[in-house]
Structure 1
């Protein structure tokens, strides 16, 4: 049976990726997914910071503690089976799982954990800030994280609770890599970074067989996975950017899952062999204005913009079923959310705000957007509604990687994008939307505030850090609600929607898990009847 499946899999891979496949049913034991994956910039856990790369890392690697496919809302044991926290000493001691191995067959040791964390700090790539929050630096790391035998001791600096530290250690850059294998592929001091952006060295439920950027991903089941081998033998993710093509492939039976269908396409599905599952998401969608663009620096422009978004028009049509109006940076449904939505589409009010502030119109602004639904449709809606008040958007579509790279370089004017928390604690988004202590060009920060060159007011910076260290749980959540209200009222970031993710799939597929963020997309429980 394994030989037959391998033969069928080989036939799948010989088919052209850009055109519909020639067969009418995917092979048994192989899950074939159509998805736009061109947002991926890197797949090394020390560098990966895109949505699709997060999904990939989660399926290839493990962490000491993690949110698992069985329950994506509860922090569970991963490569550590137990841990003891000493809040006074700011120390957490982890006991590693007996007999855990990497997919290479190498045993997983305390040295691998220390190497993995230290590698993130020393490479200091985009997601490193998540771990450096713990006070870790290249200079002090050897004193902060130590390991011997089956024990790893983590020290941290900062006034926050052990629960916060555990959430940090459950995040993507805290994934554990096979230090023996990675060191074998290190070149010119890169600690294996180039190799890990084409390969994988994890202990997760799947093994990476092939990654071809903006083409395909192929993973096979890790038969020695500590939680049990995946139910499915392999997963193929085909890059299909066009939603219409995804729908056609699904209806013909050439794929099992379509990940990027539009609301109209979801509504048009009329096939008893296809079902749609909806998964609430933590991602918030926003429009932001780069403060390096002089015409966008007046707070009156920010205020008017909030009345120029046709929230209801979009949620009733182009994003129906996939987003709901939400105007604060922490998603609804999570502790600490602020769910008030005071802004509605009111172009007359927007024009009055601009006129009272002495803003001369028309204003012409370039708007960068990912060239895929629903973003292009949303951009066209914004273009039409903002024109009512004399703000003219010139839409600049690009691949996900192009748009995100431009955003990180602060070379955009206006940006339509979305943001998901790096870990499930409100500080993750507060740091992104309400904190920027150094706005200079040479101090890169992976936040929406820095990327939009917004020098956050000092009192807001202080409140953000005070909320992080607040020991009373409810008081802390109230502080985050207050920060959300302030960002909602006055900032160059207009938060509009919270995502709800719809996935169309063959009726025979069960067990697909799509948690609230891209880090919680799991294939290990998938079965095909």
Structure 2
């Protein structure tokens, strides 16, 4: 049997990083009212809910803010009311009225319709990365104050540009871009018309179970209880320590220095399966691992090279030997578990076919390229395997490792050649991924909308038209048929090699209960968590 170590070409040591001064010494056992978590925290650039657009940051945001609705963690194709007590659409499916439930911000002030309207208007006016999720309904900086209106203290109306299925609108509002912020607090911290953006990047003004005490990038996050919020357990504080090395996370869990370890590898999880002191909370999530080929590179812009890369990869070998308990082979842009997802895996390693495609592209002698990837495991191990696979067909890969947010920043600036990264879905509808992978209307460097496809300079008008047709199709069965056909075409005709879908596992000490993992990252919740 091929071992993981033999499967890889070498290995890489990853440094252990420190955490908040509040927890600088190891606990013999963590205090009963403080939850201590070991987690890789480099996937964050902002904690402003209308700007942050990374998985880990989204998780933190969702524990500090509430939205009108949220995805149901047990049945994610439905939504659960939160700030909204009820909602209804008019006969034309253009005017949507929300009645609000009672809720309070961390300041003690009541959440009002004015806060709701301001928050959604703010998201549109700021127009940061996640704004496309709700500006697709026709909201613009010029019209949003007229189209999102507080009618009274408990009533908000949203008027969309065209008739809209209320289920689709609700799914979009369940994303963090729909988070409700306290208008008064945010505007008190506004600087030069930024709507409080600079302040909210490292502070909070929400009504969720916790509020932000401190965030030190690549070190720690400390959350404290929102005494006016929905949390009813015995925790007063949650400290999340940035621990890159999974082996360090496991050792800290076993010693009692942390209550939850969030990023253990398959090797560590196997060892813990029989440990009576640990409970494993598992969830397949809507997160894909993929390789992006930047179309600004002449070699990577050849469709034959797209295909060659996909046929060169040993998907099954990597899954079996590197990520057996954390990922499954998956090749569609839509995650398994979503309506209409194609679960076929047509690409299998075929070196001779890949070489023939390279020759057809006029690149029989190969070429040199750099692959950026996250520094945290399992990405270094996967990158080494990819390097070997592509080397077999003449693509000479130089590996470039960096923190998660550094890789993302480089991709958002179109600075990568090839990149191994992850993409997490934003809301429970196939349009969420189809839009970011297929609809890139403006491929210029200064485009107002910069979806995932834009980052790699990929623009395909035919795919975009088909994605829009699927999005707008009113017949549910026909809509899913259109999405299935779109996925198959994207597999064959795009510069993205989707490889795996992630299964997350939180390893919890037996006295820690109630932590929830969601299909979407914002469903990872401390709301029900407590310690014996």
Band the TM-score falls in, shorter-chain normalisation: over 0.9
CA deviation after TM superposition for structure 1 residue 447, in Å? 2.2
CA offsets 1:428-473 (integer angstroms, 9 cap, x no match): 10011122122111105342211110121x2221111111111000
CA deviation after TM superposition for structure 1 residue 232, in Å? 2.8
Contact preservation (8 Å) 1:222, 1:230: no
CA deviation after TM superposition for structure 1 residue 182, in Å? 0.8
Contact preservation (8 Å) 1:231, 1:525: no
CA distance in 1, matches of 2:396, 2:215: 40
CA offsets 1:187-208 (integer angstroms, 9 cap, x no match): 1111111111111000011122
Contact preservation (8 Å) 1:136, 1:156: yes
Residue equivalent to 2:183: 179
Contact preservation (8 Å) 1:421, 1:428: yes
CA deviation after TM superposition for structure 1 residue 257, in Å? 0.8
CA distance in 1, matches of 2:188, 2:120: 18
Contact preservation (8 Å) 2:287, 2:425: yes
CA deviation after TM superposition for structure 1 residue 160, in Å? 3.5
Structure 2 CA distance for partners of 1:15 and 1:108, relative to 1, 3 Å = closer
Contact preservation (8 Å) 1:69, 1:525: no
Residue equivalent to 2:493: 490
Structure 2 CA distance for partners of 1:198 and 1:353, relative to 1, 3 Å = same
1:90-489 alignment, distance < 5 Å: 90-98=94-102, 100-147=103-150, 148-225=152-229, 227-269=230-272, 271-456=275-460, 458-489=461-492
Picking from 63, 66, 69, the partner of 2:70 is: 66
SS at 2:381 equivalent: helix
Contact preservation (8 Å) 2:120, 2:178: yes
CA deviation after TM superposition for structure 1 residue 72, in Å? 5.0
Residue equivalent to 2:16: none
Contact preservation (8 Å) 1:63, 1:78: yes
Contact preservation (8 Å) 1:58, 1:522: yes
CA distance in 1, matches of 2:29, 2:76: 31
CA deviation after TM superposition for structure 1 residue 220, in Å? 2.2
Structure 2 CA distance for partners of 1:346 and 1:76, relative to 1, 3 Å = same
Picking from 76, 80, 83, the partner of 2:84 is: 80
Contact preservation (8 Å) 2:71, 2:171: no
CA distance in 2, matches of 1:168, 1:342: 31
CA distance in 1, matches of 2:381, 2:495: 22
Picking from 31, 36, 42, the partner of 2:40 is: 36
Contact preservation (8 Å) 2:20, 2:241: no
SS at 1:119 equivalent: helix
CA distance in 1, matches of 2:191, 2:133: 25
Matched, 1:514 2:517: yes
Contact preservation (8 Å) 1:127, 1:446: no
SS at 2:321 equivalent: coil
CA distance in 2, matches of 1:358, 1:77: 56
CA distance in 2, matches of 1:361, 1:158: 53
Residue equivalent to 2:5: none
Residue equivalent to 2:10: none
CA deviation after TM superposition for structure 1 residue 261, in Å? 1.2
CA deviation after TM superposition for structure 1 residue 86, in Å? 2.0
Contact preservation (8 Å) 2:253, 2:509: yes
State how many pairs are aligned: 512
Contact preservation (8 Å) 2:367, 2:394: yes
CA offsets 1:313-366 (integer angstroms, 9 cap, x no match): 111111111111111011112211011111111112111222233323221110
CA deviation after TM superposition for structure 1 residue 494, in Å? 0.7
SS at 2:96 equivalent: strand
Contact preservation (8 Å) 1:160, 1:470: no
CA deviation after TM superposition for structure 1 residue 228, in Å? 4.9
SS at 2:354 equivalent: helix
CA distance in 2, matches of 1:366, 1:102: 47
Task: Give 5+ residue unaligned stretches, structure 1.
Answer: 1-10
SS at 1:300 equivalent: helix
SS at 1:210 equivalent: strand
CA distance in 2, matches of 1:161, 1:68: 18
CA distance in 2, matches of 1:424, 1:89: 20
CA distance in 1, matches of 2:455, 2:90: 36
CA offsets 1:126-157 (integer angstroms, 9 cap, x no match): 11111211100111111111112210001111
Structure 2 CA distance for partners of 1:322 and 1:328, relative to 1, 3 Å = same
CA deviation after TM superposition for structure 1 residue 245, in Å? 1.4
CA distance in 2, matches of 1:207, 1:434: 36
In the superposition, the TM-score normalised over structure 2's length comes to 0.93
SS at 2:137 equivalent: coil
Contact preservation (8 Å) 1:186, 1:192: yes
**Farther off after superposition, 366-375 or 88-97:** 88-97
**Farther off after superposition, 203-212 or 409-418:** 203-212
CA distance in 1, matches of 2:166, 2:416: 38
